Amino acid sequence: GLTLNSTNKIMFNDASQFIQGSSATVLSLGATDEIDLTATAIDINGTLDVSGTTAFGGAVTITETGSGSSSGPFFNLLRDSSSPADGDDIGIIQFQGDDDAGNVTTYASVSASIHDASNTTEDGRFNLNTMVAGSSVSRMYMVPTATTFNDGSGDIDFRVESDGNANMLFVDGGNDGVGIGVGAPS
């Protein structure tokens, strides 16, 4: 294990093994400060790859221990561009796994982009895609004036359940039908 404690020490598995820092920066690697460790932050210039196997789920946990009305935990994707423009991607989260031939496949993704970067009239876009028959398909797409389901015009049904009816609202994507209370509208 590796621990950064309040006295600017990087502690290893054995508490007698440590690196002592004399300034706010305890460990800095490379000419471009690839990793900067301080008593309050870890700054990484480059790519962070966290991998491993666990019996109970993910390899990364973000925990907020504050109380009261404070919000958290907070996961922020920031594209800090000096020249932002309409259409810029500002964050993508991909859910990947191997297919049965061993190829890494993106089975689902969530993305956001700038629709309008104009100060005081900013607008955003949000897209949710999943893999359908080997192709990435937009399932939900939000722009400032509309939220569209099945933006790619695929043969994908849309269904809303109520407490007692599995097909309270049913849009049949392949047959261009809408049903209320029925699963096979005519």
Residue 109 forms beta bridges with which residues?
Answer: 94, 129
- The pLDDT profile of the chain, 186 residues, written as one tens digit per residue, is 455 555 555 555 554 544 555 555 545 555 555 666 666 777 777 777 777 666 666 667 778 777 777 777 888 899 999 999 999 999 999 999 999 999 999 999 999 999 999 999 999 999 999 999 999 999 999 999 999 999 988 899 999 999 999 999 999 999 999 999 999 988
Q: CA quadruple 146, 151, 155, 161: dihedral positive or negative?
A: negative
Q: Which two tokens stand for residue 176?
A: 């261009």
Collect all residues with Cβ–Cβ distance below 8 Å to 25 and sequence separation of at least 6: 36, 37, 38
- Three state DSSP letters for 117-148: CCCCCCEEEEEEEEEECCEEEEEEEEECCEEE
- Give the pLDDT score at 40: 72
d(CA 90, CA 142): 15
